[in-house]
Structure 1
Amino acid sequence: MSYGKFQKEAGVYTNWRNKNNLPYLNYEKVEEIIRDKWITDKRYKELIAFILENWDSGNCDNFSRPFSKHLIDNKELNFYKRLWKGIIRNRLDKFWNQYDYLRQELPDFTLEKIKLVNINGFNQFSSEESIERCFAWKRLYIIEGINEFIKGLEILKDSEEIAKQISLLAIVSNLEKPKPKPTTDKRKIDETIFWQIIDENRKISTDQFNFLDNLKSTLETFHPKELRKFDKLLITKANELNTWEHWALAYIVRSGCGDDEFDYFRVWAVSKGQTSFEAIKELNENQLLQIFDEDPQLEELNYLAEQVYETKTSDLMPPIRVKTSKLTGKRWDEDNLPQTFPTLCKLFNFE
């Protein structure tokens, strides 16, 4: 919900300025104003979620640094770690994917060659940059980010996390991509085991991003063919929510929801665990409010089992065959949602 809330508040603020004939502010400045308001109101968890979703490449330096400094100054260690571990995780995901691509396209590349690449004038937003320059820049970008994270940890005196980040720093610096875990979990993934895996990892996770990390570690211990079963069950369960009524719920909760966002909403619902999933499926209005404690979007879960499979086998996962799910239910008009779904709209303050 963080993304929708942030965008809504930014829109309200912009409209207020327009009505009062105040000078125009570009959207970046408006974002900074809403960010600072959320910091003042101590809406740390929501702001972290917004940052990690909105800048999933980790390229959020200018926006997140004042927030990061605030967390350090106020000794908010746990929130500081959640922010930075999320940022670095996003950067690493893109980095290792590019690492695999670079090895495929330029099999003779070495660490020493990457170190010699000239990145002066590099433009991270240009599609014309070479893959060597992109990779060399990203390597240094992640190294700088980890070092920045460590500096804050030193102020907050978290020696255990500092040791972990120093270890990660060496891995990135030396391009030592972690090897896949051996297959140690011999269970066959059926629907019961599927929900056990989801529920157990949700229970130990602080948020949806930490959940993805924990789930990935769990899936890495399974045989590749079981990963295909996991993926098939994920798709099957998400398809059970492919109705106009569940799309309305997603739209109301997020103050807007397009086609892609509805796909991400449905896999997020699965990620919340079996009990919450069933409550969402039944549109149980007595339970929904407590379930929606984070932005209901989890696109990355769509690809997680496939990525783990590829890492373990060095091959693409064969296509998963699941019967196509057609959108069912009664179509609604967004202008009439308060009349069509009055209780849901009231529950989530949708106007």
Structure 2
Amino acid sequence: MLLLASLSLVLGACGVQPSVEGAAPHPVEPTTVPQPAAEVEPELRYMKNGKFWDIIDRSLEASGGSTGRQAVELEEILAAMPPEQIASFNATFVSKNLELYTWELWGAAYVLVGGCLDDCFEYFRNWVVGQGSDYHQAVKRDPQVLADGRLRSDVEIGDAESLAYTGADAYLRSSGGRELYEDYPESPSTIAGEEPWGTAWDEEEVENLYPGLTPLPAD
């Protein structure tokens, strides 16, 4: 009995609990494995109007009057910016494009081009955005402004398709190969999915609504 007590004292001093028959086992605390933090999508922010239109104006000035060249210049300007700012520019470009999604402006485009389907009208709106803030606002207020001759041929409308791609292309370059719409899946698109605002027109009578507009020469 004296020997058992001495053994218990030695084991206790060593931090070892003696086994007692019939006693419940001491619970073992589970090991907590740290979990990787959930990946958070970056927040999409719209670019301030002043900065956005400054970028558009710089690309327009460098274009020499060529819409295709403007797209090249715009991508170069954007590619030098951080990816998150490019995403902001792209979202703002889309918002300015969709501000023009009206039956009234579509009718003007229809007359100028001699027929204009939805993809043609999308590129047409790109071209208007690419002309800068003042022109964008003037055309939005009154599409008859398009009679000023700034739009010289329907080729420019086709070239304006690439203006909407400059954000995604520049983002790919600036981010080292990441896709804009993967990093920012909520980014909007210039492809409008609903009916335009305003009152629809009849194709047979739409020319009467725009007496100051004449069809553009086809190159």
TM-score, shorter chain, exceeding 0.5: yes
Runs of 4+ in 1 over 6 A off after TM superposition: none
TM-score scaled by length of structure 2: 0.66
Give the percent of matched residue pairs that are identical in Structure 1 and Structure 2.
Answer: 26
2:79·2:170 contact (CA, 8 Å) conserved in 1?
A: yes
2:100 is paired with a residue whose SS is: coil
> Where do 5+ consecutive residues of structure 2 fail to align?
1-45
Render the CA deviation track for 1:175-200: whole Å, top value 9, x for unaligned.
xxxxxxxxxxxxx9421111011012
Return the match for 2:101 from 233, 242, 252: 242
Between 1:312-321 and 1:197-206, the stretch displaced more is 312-321
Alignment match of 1:226 (pick from 85, 91, 107): 85
Per the alignment, residue 56 of structure 2 pairs with 198
Considering fraction of residues, name the structure with more helix.
1
- Corresponding position of 1:213: 72
Q: 2:157 aligns with which of 258, 273, 296?
A: 296
Give the equivalent residue in structure 1 for 2:185. 319
Counterpart pick for 2:115 among 256, 263, 286 = 256
Q: Can you give the 5+ residue segments of structure 1 that lack an aligned partner in the other structure?
A: 1-187
TM-score with structure 1 setting the length: 0.42
CA RMSD after TM alignment: 2.3
- Per the alignment, residue 270 of structure 1 pairs with 129
Change (3 A) 1:276 1:222: same
Taking a change above 3 Å as real, the CA distance of residues 249 and 320 of structure 1, as seen in their structure-2 partners, is farther
Q: Deviations over 1:229-276 (max 9, x none)?
A: 001101100011111111111111111100111111111110111111
Q: Relative to structure 1, is the Cα distance of residues 275 and 291 closer, same or farther in structure 2, using a 3 angstrom cutoff?
A: farther
Distance 2:131 2:152 in 1: 10
Cα gap change, 1:243 to 1:301, in 2 (>3 Å): same
Max radius of gyration: which structure?
A: 2
Q: How far off is 1:342 after superposition?
A: 3.9
* Change beyond 3 A, Cα 1:286–1:326: closer
The letter for the 1-side match of 2:57 is D
Residues in 2 aligned to 1:338 and 1:283: alpha-carbon distance in whole angstroms: 15
C-alpha distance in structure 2 between counterparts of 1:335 and 1:237, whole Å: 30
Question: Which residue among 204, 211, 214 is the counterpart of 1:343?
Answer: 211
- Residue 325 of structure 1 and its aligned partner are, at CA, apart by 6.3
Could you tell me which amino acid in structure 2 is paired with residue 205 of structure 1?
S
Aligned partners of 2:90, 2:210: CA distance in 1, in Å? 35
**2:170 is matched with which residue?**
308
Within-5 A mapping of 1:1-150: none
* Distance change in 2, residues 1:342/1:228 (3 Å): closer
In 2: Cα distance, 1:269 partner to 1:189 partner: 18
CA contact (8 A) 1:242 1:325 kept: no
